[in-house]
Structure 1
Amino acid sequence: DTDRIGTLLSWNVMEGIWYGSYLFGAAAVMLFLRPGLALYVLMLVPLTGTAAMFFQRKLTRLERSIRESNARITGNFNEGIAGAMTVKTLGIEESMDEEFLKETGEMRRQAVMNGHVKGMFLSLTSFSGFAALSLVLWQGGMLTEQGLMELGTLSVFMSYALGIMEPVRWVVKVISDVITVRVNIERLASLQETEPDVKDTPEVIEKYGDSFRPKKAAWEKVRGDVRFEDVTFRYPDGSENILEHFNLKIPAGTTVAIVGETGAGKSTLVNLACRFFEPTAGTILIDGKDYRERSQLWLHSNIGYVLQNPHLFSGSIKENIRYGRLDATDEQIEAAAKAVSADTVVEKLENGYDSDVGEGGDRLSTGEKQLISFARAVLADPAIFVLDEATSSIDTQTEQLIQNAIAHLLKGRTSFLIAHRLSTIRHADIILVVKDGKIIESGSHEDLLRKKGYYFSLYTKQFEKEASAQLLRS
């Protein structure tokens, strides 16, 4: 979209100045030489405007459909490449090919129709221009024959009339291009006008700065006290409350585990605590102060987040870990890696910490990427840790190493652990059990087992599955 808009502006501004000057100059000379004949040529302006108004709506509608089709095709194309292995294992190449051909065929049909309509528009305006020239030549010839106009004057007039056709054709072409680019402008404007769901107030920006111009001198040190006070939350596009009048006090250094089945809503609390979303009602306090009274960057700079599907950037392992703290030394990077057993990944690679991870880290397994991501978070030395199912793709041996590292590294830090495997969160200070987006139980591991409620059921089932799997392996 931006490329189309840029091309239209960069190529047409200077041409517009030249053609516009010539058009007005030639029109002035023709009106001076023979006003009556000049009107025959100048009637092209309202004709072109009328034609543009007539074709604009249809061309805009077709261009919008083409852009939407192109977006779908691009998305399907990317999905096809990313999911090539899945497509092959499912044996659905023919089905995917038919779907792709259907989408491209529809876009081709729309593009051909758009070309026909645009061709009609250009042909109509060109025909009108040459018809006006023919009328001028006919009327001018009659005036010359009757001695009312000199042949030299007619020759000069026709030269200007012919010369004016090139600017007119350019104007018609630009109108056509503007109609085409209008859809791109709409898409770009819609993106630029989209307001984020979470944003700092002008007063907060004035004191703490924004993401691009932070005023770090005004940032307070984060201890890690988190408190939910009468919090009600509903997603911006949702119709039901996920939390209602929820209260929770998390002192600094507390480890909070959030468990539940897939899709239960485990990430909602973490998203609220990290201010990826804000409460619909109520308040969340960080160190006793409403976190909306401080900048987002202040909070996010003090959070270490390890995702379930971690993302690595193209470059070396060392560069990816250094994103946790850009001024870190090589020794600090290696220490962070050793703390979470990420050095075991490095040892397997030919170039060690200088080994390239590939695009998105595609040269490493998911478990290896999680270890590198965890080392990056450790290097940042945040006050708040969030581990989103961070050990779900790590083998049992590596998991034990990382559990030992977690127990050591999370001391003195507020931490949120989200996991399916309940064996990984038995030592959490408090466990929140989530079901259908609601917190139905809370307490320590031992307390919840004694209650013999939903957590007890989850833990028992998972323990039996793990025991059966261990028995089969042995």
Structure 2
Amino acid sequence: MAKGSNEVESKHLQRFHYTLDQAIEKPFNWKQMWRLLVYLKPYSKNYLPAAVIAMLISTAVRLIVPILIGKVAIDVAIADKDITMLTYLVIGIGVLYLLSYVGNVYRIKWVNILGQNVIYDIRQHLFSHIQRLSHRFFDSRSAGSILVRIMNDINSLQELFTNGIINLLMDVVTLVGIIVILFVLSPKLALAIMVILPLMFYLTTKLRRMIRRSWQSVRIQQSRMNSHLNEGLQGMRITQSFSQEAENGEYFHGVNTDNFNSWKDATKKSAMFRPFVEMSNAIGTIILIAYGSYLILVGVENGGIEIGDFVTFAFFIGMFWDPISRLGQMYNQMLMAMAASERIFEFLDERPNVKEQEGAHEFIDMIGDIEFDKVEFSYDQERIALHEISIHIQAGQTIALVGHTGSGKSTIANLISRFYDPAKGTVKIDGYDLKQVTLASLRSKISVVLQDTFIFSGTIMENIRFGNPNATNEEVIQAAKVVGADEFIQRLANGYETEVEERGNILSAGERQLLSFARALLANPSILILDEATASIDTETEVKIQEALGRLLKGRTAIIIAHRLSTIREADTIFVLEQGRVLESGSHEELMAKREEYFSLVKSQFQMLDAM
């Protein structure tokens, strides 16, 4: 890679590690975990209690059976050689295990239904929330990083909700039950066996910070890799055009290696928990054999235990360490869930910069009179995009915005649609300040056609109908005919039912643009914004568009942004912008007569055409 690329990568890694360190130092947020558990509330009256009851049944069976074997079968039935009691006991234990089997079947069924519903709700909530966020949110984040939150991070919560919560309750109930039973049977032996618990607790506590750091690193590295993948796939044509496959592969190798190493580190640290549990189990078993045997030899009359108590202890010791091990795994799940939930709630806590006031005006019929009153706006603090712009566009007028790149043309269009709010001044439509208007009613009366039009996966018919979901097939076809799109659509294999691929790649740039014109017309807007809308259309198609524009713009307020000045000759007023200021305005003839900035733009454009 070039030196400049290496410097950029180095700075990116510095920012990445700084962000990672910040995330790692955060304490475990139980309040945030509670926010996750709130998603269980809609199911707290059906699936959740049913799963808990099924869990309690199977857990109760696991606790009862060892007591029956040790205290009843060995100390009573076998000691008294009571075959009848032993027979009934075997049948009874078999029935209990059958009951436990049924309980486990329904627990697994209801827990999975519960978990899948919760994951569905979280993903739906996050996506719906993101759709309502302002453009500034998307300006500072890549599509790949947003995709990671909606897919990967929410998937990381799946194990927590499908198994983790109920298993946590089951293991806690099992542990408490075992501890109570052991102390009832023999407090001395129970205390001797559990002497290892403080050491185990200390060692596992030391592991928590390391494990949490490693799983947070995994989430951040995954986000970085997914962002690069999304960018690499979208820019594949540019990569191949400049023969940068090797450099792109080298960069991805680095990202992929970082992701691999983070997973390896996290799994290695997480795997350390199990050996500690097994070591504790081994020590507990040795204590049981040594001290338990001594208590049997001492005899019950001298404070010892019976053989049945020893066997029951052996059963419960085998059961005791498994829940502790699973609780350790559960803690790892919670750490992963916490790392993912931090990133999910970061987006859910985002609030739109463009806010809708309570009791805002709702446009029923929009006339289309637009006024900018000393509007100032900037995308960042370093550069002001508009300097106290004052423009009045009368209803039904067609105005054009021209100027060099970065002069503020698209910014004006963005403010009319209220994708952003001005820093100073007001933008009004029909006399209403846009800050006091509902966003839905405003944008439903405005159609925007961009240079890089977006075509969705689906049919031609569905893509045009996106402008008005309630339109009939006949209305869709009529809109396509008006803008001249019907001709090429009829040539397609399945006409209006032709399936277009992602972003409409089977269509040419001009054809995609014609579809966007049809979509805009079908929406029947009061205000139409054409932002470099004819830039990707060839000369022959442009002639058709110019013919259609007369019908498209009739009775509507239109704002045309164009570099190709031949497309705006018929505009009622042309505003010439430069660095966020209006230099001059007037009709094409008036501005040409002034022989100032507009005249220079037209002259330079024609000179370029003559030179070609």
TM-score by length of 1: 0.90
- Code of the residue aligned with 2:304 in structure 1: it is M
- Code of the residue aligned with 1:74 in structure 2: it is N
- Determine which structure has the larger helix proportion and give its number: 2
Alignment partners' CA distance in 2, 1:307 and 1:459: 23
Which of residues 413, 417, 425 is equivalent to 2:568? 425
Residue number in structure 1 paired with 2:234: 82
Residue number in structure 1 paired with 2:339: 183
2:248 is the alignment partner of 1:93: no
Residue number in structure 1 paired with 2:532: 389
Which of residues 313, 320, 324 is equivalent to 1:157? 313
2:464 is the alignment partner of 1:321: yes
* SS of structure 2 residue aligned to 1:428: coil
2:509 is the alignment partner of 1:366: yes
Does the CA contact (< 8 Å) of 2:156 and 2:336 recur in 1? no
Cα deviation digits, residues 162-196 of structure 1 (max 9, x gap): 21112111111101111122111111111111111
* SS of structure 2 residue aligned to 1:386: strand
* SS of structure 1 residue aligned to 2:156: helix
Alignment partners' CA distance in 1, 2:485 and 2:530: 16
2:366 is the alignment partner of 1:222: yes
Cα deviation digits, residues 104-124 of structure 1 (max 9, x gap): 112112211112211223322
Residues 275 and 457 from structure 1, CA distance in 2 versus in 1: closer, same or farther, beyond 3 angstroms? Answer: same
Alignment partners' CA distance in 2, 1:45 and 1:423: 83
Alignment partners' CA distance in 2, 1:410 and 1:419: 16
Residues 329 and 450 from structure 1, CA distance in 2 versus in 1: closer, same or farther, beyond 3 angstroms? Answer: same
Residue number in structure 2 paired with 1:257: 400
2:149 is the alignment partner of 1:5: no
1:40-439 alignment runs, 5 A limit: 40-42=192-194, 47=199, 49-147=201-299, 148-150=303-305, 151-204=307-360, 219-235=363-379, 237-439=380-582
Alignment partners' CA distance in 2, 1:156 and 1:60: 37
| 1:465 shift after superposition | 1.1
| 1:381 shift after superposition | 0.8
Moved more, 245-254 or 67-76: 67-76
Cα deviation digits, residues 126-153 of structure 1 (max 9, x gap): 3234323433443333333444422332
* SS of structure 2 residue aligned to 1:154: helix
Does the CA contact (< 8 Å) of 1:27 and 1:42 recur in 2? no
| 1:335 shift after superposition | 1.6
Alignment partners' CA distance in 1, 2:201 and 2:350: 33
Residues 64 and 18 from structure 1, CA distance in 2 versus in 1: closer, same or farther, beyond 3 angstroms? Answer: closer
Q: How many pairs does the alignment contain?
A: 456
Alignment partners' CA distance in 1, 2:203 and 2:418: 53
- Code of the residue aligned with 1:329 in structure 2: it is T
Does the CA contact (< 8 Å) of 2:573 and 2:585 recur in 1? yes
Alignment partners' CA distance in 2, 1:44 and 1:182: 29
Q: Which runs of 4+ in 1 moved over 6 A?
A: none
Cα deviation digits, residues 425-464 of structure 1 (max 9, x gap): 1222222223334333333323333333332222211111
Alignment partners' CA distance in 2, 1:186 and 1:168: 26
Does the CA contact (< 8 Å) of 1:44 and 1:129 recur in 2? no
2:176 is the alignment partner of 1:24: yes
Percentage of identical aligned residues:
36
| 1:306 shift after superposition | 0.8
Does the CA contact (< 8 Å) of 1:258 and 1:419 recur in 2? yes
Moved more, 66-75 or 159-168: 66-75
Moved more, 355-364 or 63-72: 63-72
Does the CA contact (< 8 Å) of 1:255 and 1:430 recur in 2? yes
Cα deviation digits, residues 61-80 of structure 1 (max 9, x gap): 22222222222322333333
Q: Which runs of 5+ in 1 are unaligned?
A: 209-217, 470-474
Does the CA contact (< 8 Å) of 1:48 and 1:172 recur in 2? no
| 1:270 shift after superposition | 0.7
Residues 380 and 43 from structure 1, CA distance in 2 versus in 1: closer, same or farther, beyond 3 angstroms? Answer: farther
- Code of the residue aligned with 1:2 in structure 2: it is I
Cα deviation digits, residues 17-42 of structure 1 (max 9, x gap): 33222221111111212224333555
Does the CA contact (< 8 Å) of 1:389 and 1:417 recur in 2? yes
Alignment partners' CA distance in 1, 2:190 and 2:381: 64
Residue number in structure 2 paired with 1:215: none
Does the CA contact (< 8 Å) of 1:52 and 1:175 recur in 2? no
* SS of structure 1 residue aligned to 2:190: helix
- Code of the residue aligned with 2:594 in structure 1: it is K
Moved more, 307-316 or 243-252: 243-252
| 1:6 shift after superposition | 2.5
Alignment partners' CA distance in 1, 2:288 and 2:577: 83
Residue number in structure 2 paired with 1:211: none
Residues 185 and 93 from structure 1, CA distance in 2 versus in 1: closer, same or farther, beyond 3 angstroms? Answer: same
* SS of structure 1 residue aligned to 2:318: helix
Does the CA contact (< 8 Å) of 1:4 and 1:181 recur in 2? yes
Cα deviation digits, residues 65-110 of structure 1 (max 9, x gap): 2222222322333333333333333222222222222211121122
What is the alpha-carbon root mean square deviation over aligned residues? 2.2
Alignment partners' CA distance in 1, 2:210 and 2:404: 50
Residues 315 and 130 from structure 1, CA distance in 2 versus in 1: closer, same or farther, beyond 3 angstroms? Answer: same
Alignment partners' CA distance in 1, 2:317 and 2:210: 31
Residues 331 and 52 from structure 1, CA distance in 2 versus in 1: closer, same or farther, beyond 3 angstroms? Answer: same
Does the CA contact (< 8 Å) of 1:59 and 1:180 recur in 2? no
| 1:280 shift after superposition | 1.5
